A and B are shown apart, each in its own frame.
Chain A
């Protein structure tokens, strides 16, 4: 019978319907201000896509910072557990998972079976998560999709002094006033966040292969900065933001 994995993140909600390790349908929506309601609508949508009625789903496992808000879930799993499970399923050689989402950064060390061995978090502070880049994109008046690509054409290294996202916004505005090219500012922004993420990951010890997941794994500027900071290659799945939901679905499947 099909199972569902629901990952309610700070910015987006992801849902995967799985049957015998086959993805029947998936959905990604903005979490918005009414988390529970949005997730229910998204869930209905994904069921329609899969052509299933709610009673056909044998188990629904929920993860993500908003997991408590989802009324239809049967059980909850931690984000690090879901991350490890989903990543090792996609990359059996994965030993270190770096998940950078909108509101949290996580480093997870995992076993060949996809179990969590150790983990470290950047939480409750926007400077350690994707929100930082989002705030900077706003200050630069760039769409989020552009800021990463722009960083790649930067020609000079400039320092970012502010650590806090609120203060960094003012710093970016002053840099713009001083006619600093947007690409250089974008590079500095990504270097700053990459450095925080790699420091966090060093707490657990970095073992190959390193896999980057979460929304920030789609940001080319961040990937580039992180690779340089870590000094090694990183692998990225095709749909990095769905890995947590996939992990939750796989855990649901194991438990039925």
Chain B
């Protein structure tokens, strides 16, 4: 079988030191995205475990897989979780979630936790969409836009390029900085046309790293124009899978002349984390009602 250059690694993590059995609340958030799914488990408001994997063919199964993998080796069972919120593209199809909340609200809330209350602008670059969110000090959304119509500026667009250039997707960022001089960005926004343009550039003798740099720069420029619609206010944070691609992030920072906050957690779990935080608040609310 051909090597799949677009394929990124799936992973899970748990906080060994936390004793979940003593926690007064256990909640979870599950983010079923169109490309990847994450689950985050919170014990008394602290991150206890999480997982990230590729989304399968249907949402219920992907959600189940995500939560199972996050639970793996923790001794915790699904029944131990008191409240679950679903988010993401597949949020309405998670049978064991008590509520569905949009990824916009979840990302803002998750980023507020990850980066602290000073974060005002969040750019989330996911597998098949791109979101620009402005929020207040409590992580409530003030303004947002989402682009899920077009593959340009999304992880899927980057996957197409990784495949075209036969470069593992995790290496694209570093490779893009190996050019002596920054090339002009690929002029076509549309991924289909950008692909033909890249083929032309390769034919003209451009080395792969130059083509990669050119595409990272085009992608950065595109998301900057999206951000401009909601406005950029400090502090600024980038979440989602592409948030890990230095080649794109570095160029966004340069174009905006703003440094993005350094993440303390894996940026891909922001949505699921926000959902888990909403779950915690909802749990408290039901507790106080009873």
Contacts and interface: CB of A to CB of B under 8 A. Distances in A.
B150 interface: yes
A126 interface: yes
B229 interface: no
Contacts of B57: 174, 177
B193 A124 contact: yes
B129 to A, nearest CB: 10
Contact of A126 (B149, B156, B157, B192): B192
A125 B190 contact: yes
Contact of B156 (A124, A163, A166, A174): A166
Contacts of B188: 124
A174 B189 CA distance: 26
Give the residue among B128, B188, B190, B191 with the most A Cβ atoms within 10 A.
B190
A33 interface: yes
A210 to B, nearest CB: 27
Contact of A125 (B128, B150, B156, B203): B150
Interface of B: 57, 128, 149-151, 156-157, 160, 188-193, 196, 199-200, 203
A177 B190 CA distance: 27
A33 B150 contact: no
Give the residue among B57, B157, B191 with the most A Cβ atoms within 10 A.
B191
B13 to A, nearest CB: 28
Contacts of B203: 33-34
7 contacts: A103-B193, A126-B192, A126-B193, A163-B149, A165-B190, A165-B191, A166-B157
Interface in A32-75: 33-34
Given A103-B193, A163-B149, 12 more contacts: A33-B203, A34-B203, A124-B188, A126-B190, A131-B192, A164-B149, A164-B191, A165-B191, A166-B156, A170-B156, A174-B57, A177-B57
Of the four ranges (under 10, 10 to 19, 20 to 34, 35 or more), the interface on chain A belongs to 10 to 19
Contacts, number: 42
Contacts of B160: 166
Nearest to A167: B151
Given A125-B150, A174-B57, A177-B57, A165 B199 contact: no
Interface in A88-107: 103
Contacts of A165: 151, 190-192
A155 to B, nearest CB: 25
A158 interface: no
A135 interface: yes
A163 B200 CA distance: 26
Nearest to A35: B200
B200 A166 contact: no
A67 B179 CA distance: 31
Given A125-B150, A174-B57, A167 B128 contact: yes
Contacts of A10: 196
A124 B189 contact: yes
B199 A135 contact: no
Contacts of B150: 125, 163-164
Contacts of B151: 164-167
State the 10 A-B residue pairs at the shortest beta-carbon distance, nearest first. A166-B151, A126-B192, A33-B203, A166-B191, A164-B151, A164-B150, A165-B192, A125-B190, A163-B149, A126-B190
B124 to A, nearest CB: 17
B89 to A, nearest CB: 11
B192 A135 contact: yes
A213 to B, nearest CB: 21
A167 B128 CA distance: 8
Contacts of B193: 103, 124, 126, 131
A163 B148 CA distance: 9
A177 B193 CA distance: 27
Contacts of A103: 193
Nearest to A166: B151
Interface in A147-169: 163-167
Contacts of A34: 203
A165 B193 CA distance: 10
A59 B60 CA distance: 65
B163 to A, nearest CB: 12
A103 B160 CA distance: 19
A16 B26 CA distance: 74
Give the residue among A34, A163, A166 with the most B Cβ atoms within 10 A.
A166
A131 B191 CA distance: 11
B101 to A, nearest CB: 22
A164 B149 CA distance: 6
Nearest to A178: B57
A163 B191 CA distance: 13
Nearest to B201: A33
Nearest to B187: A124
B156 A167 contact: yes
